Amino acid sequence: MLKKIPKILSPELLKVLCEMGHSDRIVIADGNFPAESMGKNAIVIRMDGHGIPEILEAILELFPLDTYVEHPVNLMQVMPGDTVETPIWDVYQEIVSRFDDRKEKAIGQIERFAFYEEAKKAYAIIATGESALYANILLQKGVVTD
C-alpha cells in the first residue's frame, strides 16, 4: 500500500499512468464502448465494477492535463437526432474544474466516429461498468511541473 494514492487506482493503472508521456491519451470508456476492439493497439484495463466519475477523479489527482491544447478532455458527441440526456457531463465538468484552471473550457466534444478513431490511437483504454450513455471521456496528458 502507498499513502495518498486513491485506492481505486490499481497497480496496473498506476503503471500505465506513469508510463504515459506528454500528449499521450487515455480513454475512460462506458460499459457500451467497444474497448477491446478499439484497444487492439493499446493497453486495455478492466474496471467493470466502477463508474467513470470516481475513476476520473482519482486519475486527475495524479495526472496533469495538457496545457498546450485547447481541450485536453474530450467527450463523445451525441449523435444528431438522438434524444439522449447527458447529465453525467455536468459531473465531469465539476470534477475537471477542480483540477484544471480552465474549468469547463478544458472540455471539448468529438463526433462519435471521430472519437472512435481517436480512441484507436490512445495509449490505453479503461473499460468501466459505467451505465450512463455517451459517458466516454478522452484525456490528454500534460507535463508534470512540480
Q: What is the pLDDT of residue 145?
A: 84
Check if CATH label 3.40.50.2300 holds for domain 22-140: no
Q: Global pTM?
A: 0.96
CB-hemisphere CA count at 13 Å for 2? 9
**pLDDT(100) > 80:** yes
Domain boundaries, the chain: 22-140
- Encode pLDDT of 6-52 as tens digits: 999 999 999 999 999 999 999 999 999 999 999 999 999 999 999 99
**Residue 86 and residue 10: Cα distance in Å, rounded?**
28
Q: What is the pLDDT of residue 99?
A: 97
The pLDDT mean for the chain works out to 96
The set of catalytic residues is 22, 66, 116
